[in-house]
Amino acid sequence: MSSLGWVGIISIVTAGLTIAIGSIAPAIGEGLALARALGALAQQPDEANTITRTLFVGLAMVESTAIYCFVVSMILIFANPFWNYFVNQAGG
Amino acid sequence: MSSLGWVGIISIVTAGLTIAIGSIAPAIGEGLALARALGALAQQPDEANTITRTLFVGLAMVESTAIYCFVVSMILIFANPFWNYFVNQAGG
Amino acid sequence: MSSLGWVGIISIVTAGLTIAIGSIAPAIGEGLALARALGALAQQPDEANTITRTLFVGLAMVESTAIYCFVVSMILIFANPFWNYFVNQAGG
Amino acid sequence: MSSLGWVGIISIVTAGLTIAIGSIAPAIGEGLALARALGALAQQPDEANTITRTLFVGLAMVESTAIYCFVVSMILIFANPFWNYFVNQAGG
Amino acid sequence: MSSLGWVGIISIVTAGLTIAIGSIAPAIGEGLALARALGALAQQPDEANTITRTLFVGLAMVESTAIYCFVVSMILIFANPFWNYFVNQAGG
Amino acid sequence: MSSLGWVGIISIVTAGLTIAIGSIAPAIGEGLALARALGALAQQPDEANTITRTLFVGLAMVESTAIYCFVVSMILIFANPFWNYFVNQAGG
Amino acid sequence: MSSLGWVGIISIVTAGLTIAIGSIAPAIGEGLALARALGALAQQPDEANTITRTLFVGLAMVESTAIYCFVVSMILIFANPFWNYFVNQAGG
Amino acid sequence: MSSLGWVGIISIVTAGLTIAIGSIAPAIGEGLALARALGALAQQPDEANTITRTLFVGLAMVESTAIYCFVVSMILIFANPFWNYFVNQAGG
Amino acid sequence: MSSLGWVGIISIVTAGLTIAIGSIAPAIGEGLALARALGALAQQPDEANTITRTLFVGLAMVESTAIYCFVVSMILIFANPFWNYFVNQAGG
Amino acid sequence: MSSLGWVGIISIVTAGLTIAIGSIAPAIGEGLALARALGALAQQPDEANTITRTLFVGLAMVESTAIYCFVVSMILIFANPFWNYFVNQAGG
Amino acid sequence: MSSLGWVGIISIVTAGLTIAIGSIAPAIGEGLALARALGALAQQPDEANTITRTLFVGLAMVESTAIYCFVVSMILIFANPFWNYFVNQAGG
Amino acid sequence: MSSLGWVGIISIVTAGLTIAIGSIAPAIGEGLALARALGALAQQPDEANTITRTLFVGLAMVESTAIYCFVVSMILIFANPFWNYFVNQAGG
Amino acid sequence: MSSLGWVGIISIVTAGLTIAIGSIAPAIGEGLALARALGALAQQPDEANTITRTLFVGLAMVESTAIYCFVVSMILIFANPFWNYFVNQAGG
Amino acid sequence: MSSLGWVGIISIVTAGLTIAIGSIAPAIGEGLALARALGALAQQPDEANTITRTLFVGLAMVESTAIYCFVVSMILIFANPFWNYFVNQAGG
């Protein structure tokens, strides 16, 4: 198989695994924070505004690590410089 | 086996594993949050509205990481640029 | 073995593993939420309606990740585009 | 060994592993929920009806993920489209 | 080695592993539920009937996942369609 | 090595691993239940009869999953249909 | 190496691993139960008889899973039907 | 395959895995801190300012380890000195 | 290498691993029971006799699983029937 | 492939894994410390200065282990003595 | 390499791993028991004699599993019957 | 590939993994100690001096294990005696 | 490579791994015991003598398992009977 | 590759892994003990002297296991008898 084929295959595998592995921790981290937020709401209903605001800012920060992985995954599928190089080679 | 065959096989494996692995953490995270929400409801029934709203907004955020994986999985099966390239090559 | 054979084999393995791995987390997550719901019922029987309704909406959301996996698994067995391509090739 | 042999072997392995792995989480999830239900019964005997009903509806939902795996396992043994294709090929 | 030999070997391994892995979770789940049931009996002796009845119905449900695995294991040893096909081939 | 040799080897390995892996969970599950039963006896000595009876019925149910594995293990050593087939072939 | 050699080697490995793996869980399960029994004795000295009796009957039940493994291990070393078959073949 | 191809493939795999593995711990660490922050807010609403400020400074510090990984990942895709060397070699 | 050599090597490895793995669980189980016994002594000094007696009888039972492994290990080194067979073959 | 190619590939993989693995523990350790700091702030608001100062000095110490890994990772990419040696060899 | 060489190598590896793995559990078990003993001393100083005596008898029992491994390890290095056999063969 | 190349590659991998693995435990250990120190400060503000001093002396001791790894890692990259030997050989 | 080389390599690997793995558990066990001893000192300062004495006797016992591993490691490096045998062979 | 090269490579890998793995447990054990010491200081400030002294003597004992590993690691890099033997051979 040519280099082009190998680069394609590896890009597919890596793109999939990157987002799959990379979504494990954010989902669990967000679940923990969300669970605790609901407990905090039940415990101190009067602070619902502060709690909810802090929760969503924090969730966005945790989500950012999932988004890093999603970005790398999309780059590997749609804007892969190694793939482009070899396609140019093959077409040259 | 040709490059085309390898790309097909790898796409199948990666699509399956991506959604399989990627659904582990959201399901557990959502389960934890849901479990805690029910506890919060039992503890502070008067705040049922705030709790339920926060819960579902949060669950949607956790679910988003599962959806990233599902999107990548669908792209790999139905809109795979590497597969399309090699099919064009083979048909060219 | 031909490409067709490999694609078939890989589809079988992936379909099985996808649903097997993908059902681990929803089952545990649902079990946790259900366990907590029963505790909430015992603690606050008067809120049985709210608790049960939130429980089943939440369980449906958790179940959705298992369904993503089941959908991918069924696609790989009965509507696999890679298999169809190679069957057409072999029959062409 | 022919493609037919490989497809048979892989179907056997996958069918077995799918139900074996797929039954881990439902059994544990159901065990947790059942354990908590008994605790809830001991704590609030007057709500035995609500608790038992919610328990069995919930258990059915958890069980559903085991049934997805059993369905895929049975399809792979008795209604495997890949096996049928190659048997037709071999007999053609 | 012929296809027949490989199918036989794989059937043996899969049958054994299916029941071995498949019995892990039910045994632990049942142990947890049983342990909690005994605690519930000690806590609320007057509800012994309800607790015991719920326990055994629930245990049967957990046991069902072990039975799925036992059924698949027995099918693979004594009613294996793939083995029958190749025995017929070899004897034909 | 002949098919007969391979089937023999695999039967030995599978028989051993099936009972070895299959005895992990029942032993732990029974240990948990037994530990809790002793705690229940210490807490509620007057219910010793109910507790002990429920314990032993439950232990028998947990033990059943170990027995499934022992049965499969014994079948693979002393009543293995695949081994018998190949012995007949070799002797025929 | 002949089939006879392979069967001997595999029997050695399997016999050792079966008892090694198979003794993990009973030892831990018995340790847990014993630990709890001592706690129960300290908590309710007057029930020492009932507790001790239940403990030893239960330990015997847990021990039984270790004994299944020991039996299979001894069968594989001293009464192995596969080894006997090949020794007869080699000597015939 | 040439050195160039291997360097490309390895760069893809490493870039993906680096960010995937490297985002696990920050996401969990941030989730834990966020969860505790919400509990602290519920417990001491008057200190919301100090708590929130300390939280976000700390989260930034935890996030820094994810950013190290993201930086290495981007370097490997877009500014890889090893890739550049071999491209120059190939083009020289 | 001859069969004799392989049987010797495998016997060494298996003997070592059997006792190494087989001593993990008894040591931990005994440690747990011993730890709890000391707690029980501190809690109920008047029952020191009953506690100590039950402890040592129980420890002997846990130790028995380590002894099974030691027995198999010694059999494999000093009374290995497979080794004896091949030594007789080689010397015959 | 030449030694140069291998050194390049291995440097890429090692650089990525070093920072990926090396950022796991600092992120979790910092998350734990941060979480506890927020709890301490809620518990003893008057000591906010001492707590925050100790926290940031401690975080810097934990961060140092991540920085060791980042340094090694950067050395391997941009100042790798082994790579330089072989580039000189190739260019000599 | 001759059988003698292989037996020597395997003996080295097995001797090392046996004592390495075999010392894990006793060290942890003894640590747990020791930790609890110190707690018991702090809780009930008047029973220091009984506690210390039970502790050291129990530690000796836990230590025995480490000693089994040390014995097997020393046998494999200095009194290995398989090594002696092959040395005699080579020297004969 | 020459011995020189292999030594270089292995040095790179080992240097990276040594510091990566070696920084896991110190970071977690320091995180735990730091977390507890903050709790101690909140609980006993008057002892801030003793606590902080003990903390930093202890952290330095934990950090020492990370520094052992960093030292070995730097030796392997910049003062590797095996690399020097082979470079002298190659240059001799 | 000769037998001598293999024996040397394996001795190096085994010596390193034996002490590396063998120092895991004693360090953790001693840490646990030490941690509890400090708690006991804080709880019962008057018994400092008894606690400290029991601690150090117990630590010596736990340390003994690390010393077994260190002894085996040193034997393998400096007094290895297998290495001596082959060096004599090579020199004879 | 010659024996000399292999011995060099293996020495590098083993030296690195020995200190890397060997520093995991001491760092965690010391972290636990340190964390508990800080709690003890907060709880019983008057015993600061006894606690700190016992802490540092204990830490030195835990550190000793890390030092065993460091010693073996340094021996393998700078005073390796196997390397010296082969260097003498090569130079002889």
pLDDT of C44 reads: 87
Q: How far is CA M78 from the centre of its chain?
A: 16
Report the residue of chain I nearest G16, measured CA to CA: I18
Cβ separation E58–D37 shorter than 8 A:
yes
pLDDT of J1 reads: 64
Residue F8 included in any domain: yes
Cβ separation B27–C75 shorter than 8 A:
no
Report the residue of chain H nearest J7, measured CA to CA: H82
Residue N6 included in any domain: no
Q: How far is CA H26 from the centre of its chain?
A: 8
Give C17-41 pLDDT, tens digit per residue. Answer: 999 999 999 999 999 999 999 999 9
Which pLDDT band, with edges at 50, 70 and 90, does G92 fall under? Answer: low
Q: How many CB atoms lie within 10 A of CB F64?
A: 18
* Portion of chain J with pLDDT greater than 70, in percent: 98
| Helical spans, DSSP H, in I1-92 | 3-22, 24-43, 48-78, 81-91
Cβ separation N68–M4 shorter than 8 A:
no
Nearest to J7 by CA among F37, M72, H81: H81
d(CA N12, CA L79): 12
Distances (CA, A) of B4 to A3, A89, B17, G58, I36: 13, 18, 20, 61, 63
Mean pLDDT over F49-71 rounds to 91
Cβ contacts of C20 on chain B, cutoff 8 Å? 20
Cβ contacts of E26 on chain D, cutoff 8 Å? 23, 27, 31
* Portion of chain A with pLDDT greater than 90, in percent: 64
- What 3-state class would DSSP assign to C2? coil
Report the residue of chain J nearest L34, measured CA to CA: J33
pLDDT of E1 reads: 63
- For the cut 70, the answer to whether the pLDDT of residue B1 exceeds it is no
- For the cut 70, the answer to whether the pLDDT of residue A1 exceeds it is no
Report the residue of chain G nearest F2, measured CA to CA: G3
Residue L49 included in any domain: yes
Cβ separation H25–J26 shorter than 8 A:
yes
pLDDT of H2 reads: 77
d(CA N34, CA M35): 7
Smallest Cα distance from H79 to chain J, Å: 10
Which pLDDT band, with edges at 50, 70 and 90, does M3 fall under? Answer: confident
d(CA D87, CA E14): 22
Nearest to H34 by CA among H69, H9, H64, H58: H58
Report the residue of chain A nearest H4, measured CA to CA: A3
Give E1-21 pLDDT, tens digit per residue. Answer: 678 888 999 999 999 999 999
Nearest to L34 by CA among A71, K22, N58, N39: N39
Residues 6 or more apart whose Cβ sits within 8 Å of residue K16: K73, M14, M15, M17, M18, M72, M73, M76
Cβ separation N5–L85 shorter than 8 A:
no
Of residues K12, K17, K45, nearest to M44 (C-beta): K45
Cβ separation D31–E35 shorter than 8 A:
no
Report the residue of chain E nearest F27, measured CA to CA: E27
Q: How many CB atoms lie within 10 A of CB E2?
A: 13
If you count residue pairs, one on B and one on C, with CB atoms under 8 Å apart, how many are there? 169
Cβ separation I35–G30 shorter than 8 A:
no
Cβ contacts of C34 on chain D, cutoff 8 Å? 29, 32-33, 36, 54-55, 58-59, 61-62
Cβ separation I86–G17 shorter than 8 A:
no
Mean pLDDT over B73-82 rounds to 92
Give M80-91 pLDDT, tens digit per residue. Answer: 999 999 888 887
Smallest Cα distance from E83 to chain D, Å: 9
| Helical spans, DSSP H, in chain F | 3-22, 24-43, 48-78, 81-91
Retrieve residue H72's tokens: 């290495």
Residue L61 included in any domain: yes
pLDDT of D43 reads: 87
Give E45-55 pLDDT, tens digit per residue. Answer: 888 888 999 99
A82 touches H11 (CB < 8 A): yes
Per-block mean pLDDT, blocks of 10 residues, chain I (92 long)? 84 93 92 92 88 91 92 92 88 68
Cβ separation A27–B25 shorter than 8 A:
yes
Taking 50 as the pLDDT cut, the residues of chain H under it are: none
What CATH number does the domain containing G66 carry? 1.20.20.10
Residues 6 or more apart whose Cβ sits within 8 Å of residue K9: M6, M7, M10, M82
If you count residue pairs, one on E and one on F, with CB atoms under 8 Å apart, how many are there? 169
- For the cut 90, the answer to whether the pLDDT of residue C90 exceeds it is no
Best probe of the G interface among I3, I18, I41, by most G CBs < 10 A, is I18
pLDDT of M19 reads: 93
Report the sign of the C-alpha dihedral through residues D17, D18, D19, D20, in that order.
Answer: positive
- What 3-state class would DSSP assign to D64? helix
Give J65-86 pLDDT, tens digit per residue. Answer: 999 999 999 999 999 999 999 8
Best probe of the A interface among B11, B23, B62, by most A CBs < 10 A, is B62
Phi and psi torsions of M80, nearest 5°:
-80, 110
* Portion of chain L with pLDDT greater than 90, in percent: 66
d(CA L13, CA H70): 21
- For the cut 70, the answer to whether the pLDDT of residue G1 exceeds it is no
Best probe of the E interface among D9, D38, D68, D78, by most E CBs < 10 A, is D38
Cβ separation B7–A2 shorter than 8 A:
no
K82 touches I14 (CB < 8 A): no
Cβ contacts of M36 on chain N, cutoff 8 Å? 36
What does K1-36 look like in DSSP terms, one character per residue? --HHHHHHHHHHHHHHHHHHHHTHHHHHHHHHHHHH
Report the residue of chain H nearest A48, measured CA to CA: H42
Cβ contacts of J41 on chain L, cutoff 8 Å? 42
Report the residue of chain D nearest E64, measured CA to CA: D27
Residue A37 included in any domain: yes
If you count residue pairs, one on C and one on D, with CB atoms under 8 Å apart, how many are there? 169
Report the residue of chain L nearest N71, measured CA to CA: L68
pLDDT of D26 reads: 92
Q: How far is CA C84 from the centre of its chain?
A: 24
> How many alpha carbons fall within 13 Å on the CB side of residue E86?
24
User: Chains that contact B by 3+ CB pairs under 8 Å?
Assistant: A, C
| Helical spans, DSSP H, in chain E | 3-22, 24-43, 48-78, 81-91
Smallest Cα distance from J34 to chain H, Å: 6
Cβ separation C83–D82 shorter than 8 A:
yes
Domain limits for position I50: 3-78
d(CA B52, CA M33): 46
Retrieve residue F86's tokens: 């190949």
Retrieve residue A67's tokens: 């988004």
A26 touches A62 (CB < 8 A): yes
Cβ contacts of A6 on chain H, cutoff 8 Å? 1, 5, 9
L13 touches J82 (CB < 8 A): no
Cβ contacts of E68 on chain D, cutoff 8 Å? 19, 23, 66, 70, 73
d(CA G59, CA I83): 36
- For the cut 70, the answer to whether the pLDDT of residue B61 exceeds it is yes
Report the sign of the C-alpha dihedral through residues K7, K8, K9, K15, in that order.
Answer: positive
To which residue do tokens 């005696």 refer?
L81
Residue G43 included in any domain: yes
pLDDT of K17 reads: 93
Which pLDDT band, with edges at 50, 70 and 90, does N5 fall under? Answer: confident
pLDDT of I4 reads: 85
The CA angle M53-M58-M60, to the nearest 5 degrees, is 100
Residue L57 included in any domain: yes
Smallest Cα distance from B91 to chain A, Å: 15
Cβ separation H41–A51 shorter than 8 A:
yes
Best probe of the G interface among F23, F61, F63, F89, by most G CBs < 10 A, is F23
Of residues M7, M25, M81, nearest to K23 (C-beta): M25
Which pLDDT band, with edges at 50, 70 and 90, does B10 fall under? Answer: very high
- For the cut 80, the answer to whether the pLDDT of residue A80 exceeds it is yes
Kindly provide the b/e burial profile for residues D32-55, where b requires at least 16 CB atoms within 10 angstroms of the residue's own CB: bbbbbbbbbbbbbeebbebbbebb
pLDDT of E92 reads: 61
- 3-state SS of chain B: helix, strand, coil percent to 5? 90, 0, 10
Residue G13 included in any domain: yes
Retrieve residue F77's tokens: 């050593």
First-to-last alpha carbon distance for chain B, in angstroms, is 18
M42 touches N40 (CB < 8 A): yes
Distances (CA, A) of E91 to D6, E84, F24: 20, 10, 42
Retrieve residue I29's tokens: 């189980």
- For the cut 90, the answer to whether the pLDDT of residue N46 exceeds it is no
pLDDT of G90 reads: 80
Give F12-47 pLDDT, tens digit per residue. Answer: 999 999 999 999 999 999 999 999 999 999 888 888
Q: Which amino acid does the sequence have at H46?
A: D
Best probe of the F interface among G13, G32, G65, by most F CBs < 10 A, is G65
Smallest Cα distance from D91 to chain C, Å: 15
pLDDT of I1 reads: 63
Which pLDDT band, with edges at 50, 70 and 90, does B92 fall under? Answer: low
Cβ contacts of B85 on chain A, cutoff 8 Å? 8, 87
Give H43-53 pLDDT, tens digit per residue. Answer: 888 888 889 99
Q: How many CB atoms lie within 10 A of CB G57?
A: 14
Cβ contacts of G13 on chain I, cutoff 8 Å? 10, 13-14
- For the cut 80, the answer to whether the pLDDT of residue K64 exceeds it is yes
Give A18-58 pLDDT, tens digit per residue. Answer: 999 999 999 999 999 999 999 999 888 888 888 999 999 99
Give D47-91 pLDDT, tens digit per residue. Answer: 888 899 999 999 999 999 999 999 999 999 999 999 999 888 887
* Structural domain count of chain A: 1
Mean pLDDT over B44-73 rounds to 91
